[in-house]
Structure 1
Amino acid sequence: MRLSVVLDIDVFRPSGECGVTSRWRVSGFTEVGELGAGAFGRVVLARRDETGHVVAIKYLHGGDAAGLARLRDEAVSLGRVSSPYVVRLYRFIIGPEGQAALVMEAVDGVSLARVLDEHHRLSPEACLVVLKGSLLGLHAAHQVGVVHRDYKPANILVRPDGLSKLADFGVAASIGHSGTAGTPRYMAPEQWQSQPIGPAADVYAATCVFFQCTTGRTPFTGESTAALMRAHLHDSPPVDGVPEPLRPLVVSGLAKRPEQRPSSAAEFVTVLEEAALAAYGPDWERRGVHALAGAAAALAALLPLAAAGLGGGSAAAVGLGVGAQSSGGVLAAIGGTKVIAGVAAGVVVATGGGVGAYQALKPEPERRPAAAPRTRPVNVTVALASAPVRDTTTGLTVPNASVPTISGLADTALQARINTELRRPMDDFLTFQRSQYQGLPSASRRFQRQENQSREGRFRTRIGLRGPRYVSVAYEMDRPYAAGSGFHRRHTTTTVDLTTGKALNAADLFPPALLSATGRTRFDQVPVPAELRTYEAHCRPYSKVLYVSADANRRDVQAVVGRTLLTRAGAEFVFGADDEEVPSDCQGFAWTKLPWNRLTTLFRPDVIKAAQRSN
């Protein structure tokens, strides 16, 4: 589970390792999951008892006056900022023994750091969208005199709709403050020199992150803190890896002197939009949002609300249904929330009884009616999104993986479960490749990694049923084959029930009679594709595989589930073998298509009926 609000520490420890024997909890909230814990405090997901609204609560462990002051300063900073691009603060609460807590918006998103870990780098348009949204959030902070001071990928939360929010104002300070707080890889020269800082320091950090998004690395590195400081103070940014139209943005944003950078984050947005329009056309922002949404949707299993089994809240729907907006662009079309009171405008008073008095900084959303359990088929939008996939273990890179996603469900937790199941065949393929890779001798691993890095893998998908009861998808995935110029290929399928989010198994698809040892032979009536019947003699044991593996003694009807695509007209079965032990020249595949009137003895009647009524 990833953090929806990032603790301002770098190393997290399991709860119970911080020397705390009892935990103070904010009354009126029920905890539903812990997002992280460390020496400074912990972050939990909680549901407000009165309204049912899901929030993130950041607790400070008691007995630390300096930590309490720090958390209060963060509340002051957050309380003064009102922007749809910044995580909202609802309350700052003082406990009976010096504890403190921030009650904040629970953002159902993954950190940009996690997105970059998975995909390494993003498309130019997606990078521009990240930078623009971040600059707009930073500008809102600068407007009220606050400098973030610790802008970095871990503090940017990317939602599944491609939009992002800025989090963790733990080391924020007023404009003009001096100090060296921050993360070294993103700190502006004036921070290194403990000079007074202003908006230009955040512009510098945002440009560092922009550089990282486009190239896969930070602009300055060093083997020691001193070396890193020298690089930030004196080295020119290595712009060779940056797309040429975007290099002026990097040069301007990473200027050594604050006055040489854009005078404000808002001015930088204007320059950014002009460069993006000239380089990528008027549709650049919509494409960028779609690409970023695809990158985040590929990590749907890590969404904190979905992982905790929660729907509603503030989660955005998982999917790519973001279209063009007004002339102000996609990001400019998002509305904000008005600040009705601020911590800085009053006094936070500790009270007895275990709960401190609080001031409402921003109104919590009203209670939303709970979604009724779905007992009938539902209508959704099913789409194939192009998203990059990079496996850091094996070096396998798939620049344009075709990822199936659904959107349109009001129950975002159910929607996330469905999208996780639709992604699972790809995840399983990568897991299998990692296990095979780890089992190779070191020399073979090096060779395989070189092959993976020099030749791109391919993930292709094809959609059969699109609802309203089932979504059925066929996958073709391959990676470079180390022993030659070919590819190791896998064909598989999955069918997901849209009412439950469950991937169907053999018992869900086939009548009980087919699940027995003798019943399985009924699948022999599915003819082997003509193109495989004349396959070379030594390949025939593999080419006829439907539910029997390369080992003819291992018969498993469950395997048929992963080789069956449901369509409105009938079912399609893929024949062939993809085991690592199968000779590469025998890894051929072909499909047999049969109408439903020839499949009445193979499938459950309710499955056939639902398929024939599909969209």
Structure 2
Amino acid sequence: MSEWSVSGFSEVRELGRGGQGRVVLARHARAGTPVAIKYLPAEADPDSRERFRHESQMLGRVTHPHVARLYRLVENDNGIAIVMEAVNGVPLTKILSHHRTLEPEAALTVLKGSLLGLAAAHNAGVVHRDYKPANVIVPADGRSKLIDFGVAVYSGEGSFAGTPYYMAPEQWRGEPATPATDVYAATCVFYECITGQRPYPPGDRAAIRAGHLNTPVPVEHVPEKLRELVARGMAKDPAERPDSAEAFVEELEDVARTTYGVDWETRGMRALAGGVVALAALLPLTAAGLASAGGAATTTASTGVIAALGTKAGVAVAGTAVATATVGGGVGVYQATRPEPVERPAASTVSPSPPGKRLDLGDFSITTPLTWRVTRMRGELGGYEIRVPGTCSRTEYRGELCPEIKVLGRQWINPPGDAHIESYQPDYEWHPGTDPSHDCPPRPMLPAAGQGRLLKKSFVKVGDRTAEYREWRMQCGDFTARPVNVFFVQRLWYLPTSRILIVDEWDTPGLAQILARAQWT
């Protein structure tokens, strides 16, 4: 039997496939809005179809920025499908696998967002019952989203369903699920984010059960000022946990402000965003090429995520189209917001390839004017310097300085055994202490840069690959590194998967168009 599709949507690519169905990225035929559609075929057994309906019913009751949003449940002779919004994000499981632990502020940020999403579900009478890292998606802005209500129930119902590593004692006993059940699971995940391990070590099911039922909460592995928070959230008796997810948020914020300062959440979201950047190859919407300036595709804290069948995937939902979700007699209207777009050079701004020569820069090549020349950098920095036409100047600091572009590769991004060279951090300005190759181009030539301000960040193309783009307004210093009233704009292109950083501190004319035409080997 051929696979069917929901009327009014065109399939872009398949995101995942499991034993009972598949998940695809699709676009609304008229509005162009990308959505995620989870399909179950007509031949699926009645229990599977009922689970689909149940998931839609549970999800359709919850509307919150930290919870995936249902658009539509479609059922006909061909099968059953759930149409959902999604986000260009990375599962928390992948972030933990890559980084092992999170900074305390980042872990607290994940816990707060999750608790807020869970509170919205609880207020609608729904208990998630399967909170775990795989069901938390973190987009590029660092705000988490809760997904997969496949085993959710109304508060007061119960069974043994859940993921053993995060199941509350009452779940193990088959007792009714309450909001405290989700609070317990969320605290278990917070513990894992902080310590790099689950509260009770892997073993057979009986050993894990014994840990959750009888073993004291191992708070000794948690930073001292966070231990009471963990002990409260993972109390064996549900009555000893916070009264609600909302009440736990209040406790969390008090502890976070006291311990890490009033700006703890800003730093936490920034750290989470950095973790997502390191895994940019896993951002499905970006990979599908649907994140375009002026188009519908966007990335925002207000978008949601999907749960794939057998996998978890995230794709950004777009634009400003209004979608109506009708589930179990309830109707909700959702207006997507328009966040920072993913940018590509407009066709009208991309000039024809200049005559001249091809410069091979390791993994890619560009066609540049004949007057440009490239030299390989020596020492621990690695990479290449591209000299461009311009007037050179001499300084006491580094001798002759000329307009140039630097293309830094893997060796610089992860310098071997050299602690004074830091790896690229997309949300921080550079200065001579972290970037030995830094030049301050305005005349008179000055060797140092002080404070900077982020002017712009977006995604742009380097050939057929997507780079993070940043523009920083940098302040120069005198020969004692004292800041002076001289500024310039530093432009950065970073390709996380390829581990290549391109630096332009001279506002080189036409460079963006040249990079957009790069050829990868």
Partner of 1:163: 143
Would you say the 8 A contact 2:298–2:338 is kept in 1?
no
Deviations 1:336-385 (A, max 9, x none): x9997651226xxxxxxxxxxxxx6434659999989614779xxxxxxx
Q: Within 5 Å, which residues of 2 pair with 1:1-150?
A: 21-63=1-43, 64-97=45-78, 99-150=79-130
Correspondent of 2:505 among 567, 584, 587:
567
Change (3 A) 1:196 1:282: same
Aligned amino acid, residue 460 of structure 1: S
Partner of 1:10: none
Deviations 1:417-471 (A, max 9, x none): xxxxx999449977x99xxxxxxxxxxxxxxxxxx9xx989643499xx9xxxxx
RMSD over aligned Cα atoms: 4.0
Asked if 1:286 corresponds to 2:258, the answer is: no
Would you say the 8 A contact 2:93–2:133 is kept in 1?
yes
The gaps in structure 1 that reach 5 residues or longer are 1-20, 319-336, 347-359, 379-421, 434-451, 467-472, 477-496, 505-561, 571-604
Aligned amino acid, residue 70 of structure 2: L
Correspondent of 1:343 among 312, 327, 334:
327
TM-score when scaled to structure 1? 0.55
Higher relative contact order (CA 8 A, sep 6+): 2
Distance 1:39 1:609 in 2: 45
Q: Matched residue of 1:460: which SS?
A: coil
Distance 2:299 2:194 in 1: 25
Aligned amino acid, residue 284 of structure 1: W
Deviations 1:457-512 (A, max 9, x none): 9643499xx9xxxxxx9899xxxxxxxxxxxxxxxxxxxx98643399xxxxxxxx
Partner of 1:152: 132
Partner of 2:423: 460
Deviations 1:152-180 (A, max 9, x none): 00000101011111001011011011101
Distance 2:181 2:221 in 1: 23
Distance 1:498 1:370 in 2: 5
Distance 1:178 1:223 in 2: 25
Would you say the 8 A contact 1:91–1:103 is kept in 2?
yes
How far residue 221 of structure 1 moved from its aligned partner, in angstroms, is: 2.2
Would you say the 8 A contact 1:32–1:45 is kept in 2?
yes
Distance 2:234 2:227 in 1: 11
Distance 1:85 1:306 in 2: 21
Distance 1:456 1:372 in 2: 36
Change (3 A) 1:165 1:370: closer
Partner of 1:362: 333
Partner of 2:188: 208
Q: Matched residue of 2:184: which SS?
A: helix
- How high is the sequence identity, in percent, across the aligned residues? 47
How far residue 242 of structure 1 moved from its aligned partner, in angstroms, is: 1.0
Change (3 A) 1:371 1:274: closer
Partner of 1:509: none
Aligned amino acid, residue 197 of structure 1: A
Q: Matched residue of 1:43: which SS?
A: strand
Q: Which has the higher mean CA deviation after the structures are superposed, 169-178 or 219-228?
A: 219-228
Change (3 A) 1:460 1:47: same
TM-score when scaled to structure 2? 0.64
Deviations 1:106-146 (A, max 9, x none): 21101011111111111110111000000000000000110
Aligned amino acid, residue 362 of structure 1: V
Q: Matched residue of 1:150: which SS?
A: coil
Q: Matched residue of 2:423: which SS?
A: strand
Correspondent of 2:346 among 369, 374, 381:
374
Asked if 1:316 corresponds to 2:299, the answer is: yes
Change (3 A) 1:62 1:225: same
How far residue 25 of structure 1 moved from its aligned partner, in angstroms, is: 1.2
Distance 2:12 2:512 in 1: 39
Change (3 A) 1:461 1:220: closer
| Larger helix share, 1 or 2 | 1
| Larger strand share, 1 or 2 | 2
Deviations 1:492-548 (A, max 9, x none): xxxxx98643399xxxxxxxxxxxxxxxxxxxxxxxxxxxxxxxxxxxxxxxxxxxx
Distance 1:46 1:424 in 2: 37
Partner of 1:307: 287
Q: Which has the larger Rg?
A: 1
How far residue 228 of structure 1 moved from its aligned partner, in angstroms, is: 0.5
